[in-house]
Protein backbone atom coordinates (compact mmCIF):
# COMPACT_ATOMS: atom_id res chain seq x y z
CA UNK A 1 0.00 0.00 0.00
CA UNK A 2 1.20 3.55 -0.75
CA UNK A 3 2.71 5.02 2.39
CA UNK A 4 2.21 8.61 3.38
CA UNK A 5 3.67 10.50 6.31
CA UNK A 6 1.35 11.38 9.17
CA UNK A 7 1.73 15.01 8.13
CA UNK A 8 0.67 14.27 4.54
CA UNK A 9 -2.33 12.31 5.83
CA UNK A 10 -3.33 15.19 8.09
CA UNK A 11 -3.04 17.67 5.22
CA UNK A 12 -5.21 15.51 2.95
CA UNK A 13 -7.79 15.03 5.70
CA UNK A 14 -7.89 18.77 6.31
CA UNK A 15 -8.56 19.30 2.61
CA UNK A 16 -11.35 16.70 2.67
CA UNK A 17 -12.97 18.41 5.66
CA UNK A 18 -12.69 21.82 3.99
CA UNK A 19 -14.51 20.48 0.93
CA UNK A 20 -17.12 18.88 3.16
CA UNK A 21 -18.01 22.40 4.30
CA UNK A 22 -18.90 23.14 0.68
CA UNK A 23 -21.35 20.25 0.33
CA UNK A 24 -24.70 20.97 -1.32
CA UNK A 25 -27.01 18.84 0.83
CA UNK A 26 -30.44 20.47 1.29
CA UNK A 27 -32.15 17.05 1.34
CA UNK A 28 -29.96 14.90 3.60
CA UNK A 29 -28.00 17.52 5.54
CA UNK A 30 -25.20 14.94 5.47
CA UNK A 31 -22.00 16.63 4.38
CA UNK A 32 -19.18 14.64 2.84
CA UNK A 33 -15.86 15.99 1.66
CA UNK A 34 -13.05 14.19 -0.07
CA UNK A 35 -9.59 14.97 -1.35
CA UNK A 36 -7.42 13.10 -3.81
CA UNK A 37 -3.63 13.26 -3.76
CA UNK A 38 -1.98 12.86 -7.16
CA UNK A 39 1.50 11.58 -7.98
CA UNK A 40 2.77 15.10 -8.68
CA UNK A 41 1.62 16.26 -5.25
CA UNK A 42 -1.52 18.07 -6.36
CA UNK A 43 -4.58 17.84 -4.14
CA UNK A 44 -8.03 17.86 -5.74
CA UNK A 45 -11.11 18.09 -3.53
CA UNK A 46 -14.79 17.35 -3.88
CA UNK A 47 -18.03 17.34 -1.93
CA UNK A 48 -21.40 15.69 -2.28
CA UNK A 49 -23.89 17.54 -4.44
CA UNK A 50 -27.59 16.71 -4.19
CA UNK A 51 -30.61 17.51 -6.31
CA UNK A 52 -34.39 17.73 -5.92
CA UNK A 53 -34.42 14.68 -8.17
CA UNK A 54 -32.81 12.69 -5.36
CA UNK A 55 -31.19 9.97 -7.45
CA UNK A 56 -28.99 12.55 -9.13
CA UNK A 57 -26.93 13.13 -5.99
CA UNK A 58 -23.21 12.56 -6.45
CA UNK A 59 -21.01 11.58 -3.52
CA UNK A 60 -18.06 13.63 -2.35
CA UNK A 61 -15.55 10.89 -3.17
CA UNK A 62 -16.67 10.61 -6.77
CA UNK A 63 -16.75 14.37 -7.21
CA UNK A 64 -13.12 14.52 -6.07
CA UNK A 65 -11.98 11.61 -8.25
CA UNK A 66 -13.85 12.84 -11.33
CA UNK A 67 -12.44 16.34 -10.85
CA UNK A 68 -8.90 14.97 -10.63
CA UNK A 69 -9.40 13.01 -13.84
CA UNK A 70 -10.97 16.01 -15.55
CA UNK A 71 -7.95 18.10 -14.57
CA UNK A 72 -5.72 15.64 -16.39
CA UNK A 73 -4.35 13.61 -13.50
CA UNK A 74 -3.94 9.89 -14.11
CA UNK A 75 -1.98 8.60 -11.13
CA UNK A 76 -4.14 9.09 -8.04
CA UNK A 77 -2.18 7.84 -5.06
CA UNK A 78 -4.47 8.50 -2.10
CA UNK A 79 -7.96 9.64 -1.20
CA UNK A 80 -9.22 11.03 2.09
CA UNK A 81 -12.90 11.17 2.93
CA UNK A 82 -14.64 12.93 5.77
CA UNK A 83 -18.31 12.57 6.69
CA UNK A 84 -18.79 15.74 8.70
CA UNK A 85 -22.20 14.67 9.96
CA UNK A 86 -21.37 11.03 10.56
CA UNK A 87 -21.66 9.51 14.02
CA UNK A 88 -18.25 8.50 15.35
CA UNK A 89 -19.91 5.93 17.61
CA UNK A 90 -21.26 4.25 14.45
CA UNK A 91 -18.30 3.86 12.10
CA UNK A 92 -20.50 2.63 9.24
CA UNK A 93 -21.77 6.22 8.94
CA UNK A 94 -18.20 7.31 8.16
CA UNK A 95 -17.45 4.80 5.40
CA UNK A 96 -17.52 5.28 1.62
CA UNK A 97 -20.55 3.84 -0.17
CA UNK A 98 -20.28 0.84 -2.45
CA UNK A 99 -20.57 2.85 -5.65
CA UNK A 100 -17.63 5.03 -4.64
CA UNK A 101 -15.58 1.96 -3.73
CA UNK A 102 -16.13 0.58 -7.23
CA UNK A 103 -15.03 3.88 -8.77
CA UNK A 104 -11.98 4.02 -6.47
CA UNK A 105 -10.94 0.62 -7.75
CA UNK A 106 -10.83 1.89 -11.30
CA UNK A 107 -9.51 5.43 -10.84
CA UNK A 108 -7.07 5.20 -7.93
CA UNK A 109 -3.72 3.45 -8.39
CA UNK A 110 -3.82 -0.25 -7.42
CA UNK A 111 -2.13 0.17 -4.05
CA UNK A 112 -3.69 3.50 -3.23
CA UNK A 113 -4.22 4.57 0.35
CA UNK A 114 -7.76 5.46 1.42
CA UNK A 115 -8.00 7.50 4.60
CA UNK A 116 -11.39 7.46 6.26
CA UNK A 117 -11.78 10.23 8.81
CA UNK A 118 -12.50 8.72 12.22
CA UNK A 119 -11.71 5.19 11.03
CA UNK A 120 -8.16 5.05 9.69
CA UNK A 121 -6.06 4.00 6.71
CA UNK A 122 -7.43 1.35 4.39
CA UNK A 123 -6.48 -0.31 1.11
CA UNK A 124 -8.75 -1.00 -1.83
CA UNK A 125 -8.67 -4.72 -0.97
CA UNK A 126 -10.12 -3.91 2.45
CA UNK A 127 -12.85 -1.77 0.96
CA UNK A 128 -13.89 -3.92 -1.97
CA UNK A 129 -12.89 -7.58 -1.85
CA UNK A 130 -13.70 -9.70 -4.92
CA UNK A 131 -14.69 -6.71 -7.09
CA UNK A 132 -16.36 -6.58 -10.47
CA UNK A 133 -13.89 -5.85 -13.26
CA UNK A 134 -13.82 -5.97 -17.04
N1 LIG B 1 -22.60 10.28 0.47
C2 LIG B 1 -21.33 10.59 0.03
O3 LIG B 1 -21.07 11.71 -0.40
N4 LIG B 1 -20.39 9.63 0.12
C5 LIG B 1 -20.60 8.37 0.59
O6 LIG B 1 -19.72 7.54 0.50
C7 LIG B 1 -21.86 8.06 1.25
C8 LIG B 1 -22.98 8.99 0.98
C9 LIG B 1 -23.63 11.32 0.38
C10 LIG B 1 -24.72 11.05 -0.61
C11 LIG B 1 -25.82 11.92 -0.06
O12 LIG B 1 -25.63 13.24 -0.55
C13 LIG B 1 -25.59 11.93 1.44
O14 LIG B 1 -24.25 11.49 1.61
C15 LIG B 1 -26.51 11.02 2.22
O16 LIG B 1 -26.50 9.73 1.74
**Residue 129 C-alpha to ligand 1 middle, in angstroms?**
21
Q: Which residue's CA is the closest to the ligand 1 atom numbered 13?
A: 30
For the chain, the domains span 6-127
Quick check: pTM over 0.95? yes
pLDDT of residue 1: 83
Torsion sign (Cα): 26, 53, 80, 40? negative
Question: What would the pLDDT profile of 91-129 be if each residue is shown by its tens digit?
Answer: 999 999 999 999 999 999 999 999 999 999 999 999 999
pLDDT of 16 > 90? The answer is yes
pLDDT of 83 > 90? The answer is yes
Exposed, middle or buried by CB within 10 Å (0-12, 13-18, 19+), for 30?
Answer: middle
| Ligand 1 pocket check for 97: Cβ under 6 Å | yes
Proportion of the chain above pLDDT 90, given as a percent? 99
Question: Angle 60-70/98-107 helices, nearest 10 degrees?
Answer: 20
Question: What would the pLDDT profile of 31-43 be if each residue is shown by its tens digit?
Answer: 999 999 999 999 9
| Ligand 1 pocket check for 107: Cβ under 6 Å | no
Mean pLDDT of the chain: 98
User: Which atom of ligand 1 is closest in space to residue 50's alpha carbon?
Assistant: 12
pLDDT of 67 > 90? The answer is yes
DSSP bridge partners of 45? 35
CATH class of the domain at 6-127? alpha beta
Q: Which of 15, 50, 61, 106 is catalytic?
A: 61
Is there a catalytic annotation at residue 61?
Answer: yes
DSSP-derived 3-state class of residue 42: coil
pLDDT of residue 71: 98
Distances (CA, A) of 54 to 48, 57, 59, 65, 94: 12, 6, 12, 21, 21
Amino acid sequence: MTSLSDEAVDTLLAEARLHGERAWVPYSNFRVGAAVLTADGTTVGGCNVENASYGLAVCGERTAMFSAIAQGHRDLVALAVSCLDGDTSQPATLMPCGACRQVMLELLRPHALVIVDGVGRLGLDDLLPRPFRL
